[in-house]
Amino acid sequence: MENRPQWGTRAGFVLAAVGSAIGLGNIWRFPGVAYENGGGAFFLPYLFALLTAGIPLLILEFTIGHKYRGSAPLSFARMRKGSEWLGWWQLAVSFVISTYYAVIIAWAMAYAYFSIDQQWGGDPLTFLVGDYLKVVDAGQVGSLVPSVFFPLVIVWAITMAILFKGVKKGIEAANKIFIPALVLLFLVIVVRALTLDGAVEGINAFFKPNWDQILNGKVWVAAYGQIFFSLSIGFAIMITYSSYLPKKSDLTNNAFITGFANSSFELLAGIGVFAALGFMASQQGVAVDEVVSKGVILAFAVFPQIINELPAFSGLFGVVFFVCLTLAGLTSLISIVETYVAGFQDKFNVSRTKAVAIGAGLSALISILFATQGGLNFLDTVDAFINNYGVAFAGLVEIIIVVWIARELNNLRDHANEISDIRLGSWWNICLKYITPAVLGVMMVMNVMTDLK
């Protein structure tokens, strides 16, 4: 424990935490989720979830990692005997996410290359599903030879190379380059998108509030789900990252910065994506509603179509957009893999090199499955399961153990207050003791009920 690695600078830690938070979820998930769940009206539940669950939990996880100085299993074990399993559950969820997250980054990387001469041709959807991924019908396995292999190898090679180098020289150094580069490049995309014909209609469609939806439970579930996934909470990541902080660190302030930086990027992504969608709709003479989509289809079928229709520099726009996706994804992947690398190191006392080779190596091998013909269907199923159950469950159990079983909330609050500028008041306890567990509980029940229908 004595020679636990440490971040070099405060900015390095914050950039790494922001790097984990800003990921594919911000760019391809958020805009669609907000649009579907009330547009402008969605910001109310979203802000509520950010302030009552997202940031309080981020503070909680930062404080747990900092106080107990361990990866999630070790931290929970130190906090209270018998709760080590919670850490392993979170690592397991992280492990599963890393196996398919890497594949999506590999596609983004390949598409950055395809963008140069728009290799997807006139029908990007057919290209994606048919020519590139060669997807088979749901339930079928198809060929087990991966359709996407080379870029996947590169994604894992980069991730492992960074992790081999350690916390300061690897993770911190990479985030210090990747995150500023991502923000700058993404600003280029947003500015370009905003200056296209039809951009205003796109933005209007995005922000138009549908207040009828605000009382719908599903909208609130979506807001909480987005905040959890987007802030990478409940996955052991923020605990691991904060276990590398020096003794005197402003935990609370760092959590606020991370939370607001992530949501700002998310908002920016929503504006950029909808401006581009508005452009496409205007080119095709249809309403913006008709071209909205999210996830794999938005990024890899609709965006290429938008790129095809751009009046100038379309190849460049495509390269920049997919490089953004790649960078956003890589910094998140690095954080997910680090959770189990740290977990193995703490538990089995192995070197970082060994832990990375075994942990990331295993995940890399499994990820090949998602790159085969049946992989996309499989990916959708696993992703839905993780989002509907893994996230809420891990968050809920974490709160129950910390608040109600270990009864550590006040001790953790004292710990954070001792070293932070912003003092946590009783609002923090109320959010974590009552509001968040109540909402997460309802969320779990609602998800089970929808699935049983």
Q: Kindly state whether residue 237 participates in binding ligand PHE, applying the rule CB under 6 A.
A: yes
Q: Return the residues of window 334-353 that contact ligand PHE according to CB under 6 A.
A: 335-336
Q: Return the residues of window 24-43 that contact ligand PHE according to CB under 6 A.
A: 24-26
Q: Kindly state whether residue 21 participates in binding ligand PHE, applying the rule CB under 6 A.
A: yes
Q: Is 357 exposed, middle or buried (0-12, 13-18, 19+ CB in 10 A)?
A: middle
Structural tokens at position 162: 């960074």
Window 161-200: contact mask with ligand PHE (x via CB under 6 A) = ----------------------------------------
3-class state of residue 151 by DSSP? helix
Structural tokens at position 83: 């709760």
Q: Using CB under 6 A, which of the segments 201-209, 290-298, 331-339, 353-361 binds ligand PHE? A: 331-339
Structural tokens at position 199: 């951009």
Q: Kindly state whether residue 63 participates in binding ligand PHE, applying the rule CB under 6 A.
A: no
Residues with Cβ < 8 Å from 442, sequence gap 6 or more? 217, 221
Window 281-320: contact mask with ligand PHE (x via CB under 6 A) = ----------------------------------------
Residue nearer to ligand PHE on the CB measure, 17 or 280? 17
3-class state of residue 345 by DSSP? helix
34 torsion bin: left (phi>0), alpha (psi -120 to 50), beta (else): alpha
Q: Return the residues of window 403-432 that contact ligand PHE according to CB under 6 A.
A: none
Cβ 425 to ligand PHE, closest distance in Å?
28
Count CB neighbours of 312 within 10 A. Answer: 8
Pick the closest to residue 96 from 383, 357, 444 (CA basis). Answer: 383
Q: Kindly state whether residue 242 participates in binding ligand PHE, applying the rule CB under 6 A.
A: no
The 10 Å CB-count burial string (b at 16+, else e) for 238-267 is: bbbbbbbbeeebbbbbbbbbbbebbbebbb
Q: Kindly state whether residue 97 participates in binding ligand PHE, applying the rule CB under 6 A.
A: yes
Cβ 29 to ligand PHE, closest distance in Å?
7
Count CB neighbours of 286 within 10 A. Answer: 11
Count CB neighbours of 369 within 10 A. Answer: 17
Cβ 227 to ligand PHE, closest distance in Å?
10
Residue nearer to ligand PHE on the CB measure, 24 or 443? 24
Cα(45)–Cα(65) distance, integer angstroms = 28
Residue nearer to ligand PHE on the CB measure, 201 or 398? 398
3-class state of residue 444 by DSSP? helix
Among 12, 23, 38, 70, binds ligand PHE (CB under 6 A): 23
Residue nearer to ligand PHE on the CB measure, 36 or 123? 36
Among 52, 243, 326, 332, binds ligand PHE (CB under 6 A): 332
Q: By the criterion CB under 6 A, which residues form the site for ligand PHE?
A: 20-21, 23-26, 97, 229-230, 232, 235, 237, 332, 335-336
